[in-house]
């Protein structure tokens, strides 16, 4: 009996996805725009292949939905960060496309990766050895990308490790090396000297390894020019509408719209304290709207910001709460904004990059932080 009750309770709290009427906020994701952004990147790449990076649940937008949309544009190579993400993505999209696990396979997990038909990104000699052993046991060659550290110091084989392998003729037995890859640390700063240094280091490391197609560019790397394109580009952010050329006009189109519902409106008199800690006091009579959206939905508490309604900016007042934010709606005619109406947090009035700028962060963090409580509405599929 108790068991049944507990199970039911557990079911109600995990009963996502939420309906539009039950949700506090609505996240609209336009898959046709993701496809258009992919086409724009492909156009820039000429004939070079273009993968889709869908780690962190497709930068918060839904890895399965994004990958399916990209597949319809002919994209057949995907990158995730974790094995768990790779297994989930394989279940969602079925056999066919290659899925690479960028962070490498945790020791002992290799058979699971093989079972899911995943490609390893090999970041060390130990990982190479482990993948060879599994290939031997499986009795067939297993696909991999050799990731080398060309100067970011994050993931991939260090130069000394690459040199050691270069002299070992059997090191790659049983491995189907599909790519040699590396990642740029400063690609969003086109004049940063590290870009060319990394490109040259990549050339040197690649020359020591078995001949294979090469991959270096992320979204911003694509805009560094053809010498960074090699055989495969790996954009993530640009697909999702984040500007890959900060400081320049965004060559990508916006993909998401985030709208929150008004939970209540009120009038307050001059001097009234607003929100937790009374960090704000009304400097005159004000009209307020409280929206059902807060830091539990991924909007950073420290970020001062605003929502938008019919082209009008509605500033946040006081602190961001877990489930709510108080807006100053005094600029609107009385009664114009009512309970249940939607205000915009992300969309035509405020881009992901704008919101990131206000919050002192980057668009990547805004998207990856988007919470699980929204009603997610996919259009353009």
Ligand X SMILES: *Cc1c(COP(=O)(O)O)cnc(C)c1O
Q: Which residues bind ligand X (CB under 6 A)?
A: 53, 55, 102, 183, 218-220, 234-238
Q: How far is the CB of 164 from ligand X (least distance, A)?
A: 23
Look at residues 85, 89, 91, 93 and name the one whose alpha carbon lies nearest to residue 109.
Answer: 85
Look at residues 46, 45, 88 and name the one whose alpha carbon lies nearest to residue 67.
Answer: 88
Q: Which residues pair with 256 in a beta bridge?
A: 29
Q: Choosing from 42, 55, 261, 295, which is the catalytic residue?
A: 55
Nearer to ligand X, 53 or 370 (CB): 53
Nearer to ligand X, 127 or 349 (CB): 127
Using Cβ positions, the residue closest to ligand X within the complex turns out to be 236
CA atoms within 13 A on the CB side of 236: 22
How far CA 176 is from CA of 179, 234, 378, in Å, comes to: 9, 20, 37
Q: How far is the CB of 218 from ligand X (least distance, A)?
A: 3
The question of whether 91 is a catalytic residue gets the answer no
Look at residues 351, 373, 153, 125 and name the one whose alpha carbon lies nearest to residue 257.
Answer: 351
Q: How far is the CB of 66 from ligand X (least distance, A)?
A: 12
CA atoms within 13 A on the CB side of 265: 19
The rounded distance, in Å, linking the Cα atoms of 303 and 297 is 13
Q: Which residues pair with 363 in a beta bridge?
A: none
Nearer to ligand X, 42 or 183 (CB): 183
Q: How far is the CB of 155 from ligand X (least distance, A)?
A: 7
- Give residue 113's Cα distance to chain centre: 22
Q: Choosing from 59, 179, 228, 276, which is the catalytic residue?
A: 276
To which residue do tokens 């507990």 refer? 6
The question of whether 55 is a catalytic residue gets the answer yes
How far CA 72 is from CA of 42, 45, 104, 375, in Å, comes to: 14, 18, 27, 25
Q: How far is the CB of 33 from ligand X (least distance, A)?
A: 16
Burial of residue 373 (number of CB atoms within 10 Å: 0-12, 13-18, 19+): buried
Q: How far is the CB of 349 from ligand X (least distance, A)?
A: 24
What per-residue string of b and e applies to 192-221 under the rule 16 or more CB within 10 Å gives b? Answer: eebbeebbebbeebbeebeebebbbbbbbb
Nearer to ligand X, 55 or 261 (CB): 55
Q: How far is the CB of 352 from ligand X (least distance, A)?
A: 12
Dihedral sign of CA atoms 375, 71, 380, 242 in order? positive
Nearer to ligand X, 59 or 280 (CB): 59
Nearer to ligand X, 103 or 197 (CB): 103
Structure-block tokens of residue 352? 């992901």
Nearer to ligand X, 54 or 260 (CB): 54
Question: Which residues does the annotation mark as catalytic?
Answer: 55, 276
């Amino acid at each position: 009996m108790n068991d049944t009750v507990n199970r039911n309770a557990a079911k109600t709290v995990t009963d996502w996805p939420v309906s539009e009427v039950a949700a506090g906020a609505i996240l609209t994701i336009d898959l046709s725009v993701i496809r258009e952004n992919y086409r724009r990147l492909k156009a820039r790449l000429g004939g070079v292949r273009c993968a889709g990076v869908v780690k962190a649940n497709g930068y918060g937008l839904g890895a399965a939905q994004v990958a399916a949309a990209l597949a319809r544009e002919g994209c057949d190579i995907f990158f995730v960060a974790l094995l768990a993400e790779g297994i989930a993505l394989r279940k969602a999209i079925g056999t066919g496309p290659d899925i690479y696990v960028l962070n490498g396979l945790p020791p002992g997990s290799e058979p699971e990766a093989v079972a899911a038909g995943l490609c390893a990104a090999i970041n060390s000699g130990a990982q190479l050895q482990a993948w060879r052993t599994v290939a031997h046991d499986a009795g067939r060659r297993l696909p991999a990308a050799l990731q080398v550290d060309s100067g970011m110091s994050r993931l991939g084989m260090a130069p000394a490790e690459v040199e050691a392998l270069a002299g070992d003729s059997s090191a790659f037995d049983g491995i189907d090396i599909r790519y040699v890859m590396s990642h740029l640390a400063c690609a969003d700063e086109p004049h940063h000297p590290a870009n060319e240094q990394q490109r040259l280091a990549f050339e040197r490391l690649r020359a020591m390894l078995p001949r294979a197609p090469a991959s270096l560019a992320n979204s911003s790397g694509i805009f560094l020019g053809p010498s960074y394109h090699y055989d495969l580009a790996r954009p993530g952010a640009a697909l999702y509408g984040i500007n890959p050329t900060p400081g320049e006009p965004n060559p990508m189109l916006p993909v998401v719209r985030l709208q929150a519902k008004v939970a209540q409106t009120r009038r307050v008199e001059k001097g009234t304290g607003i929100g937790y800690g009374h960090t704000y006091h009304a400097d005159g009579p004000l009209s307020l709207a409280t929206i059902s959206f807060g830091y539990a939905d991924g909007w950073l508490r420290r970020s001062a910001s605003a929502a938008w309604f019919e082209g009008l900016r509605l500033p946040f007042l006081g602190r961001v709460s877990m489930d709510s934010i108080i807006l100053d709606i005094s600029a609107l005619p009385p009664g114009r904004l009512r309970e249940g109406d939607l205000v915009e947090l992300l969309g035509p009035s405020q881009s992901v990059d704008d919101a990131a700028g206000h919050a002192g962060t980057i668009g990547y963090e805004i998207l990856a932080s988007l919470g699980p409580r929204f009603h997610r509405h996919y259009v353009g599929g």
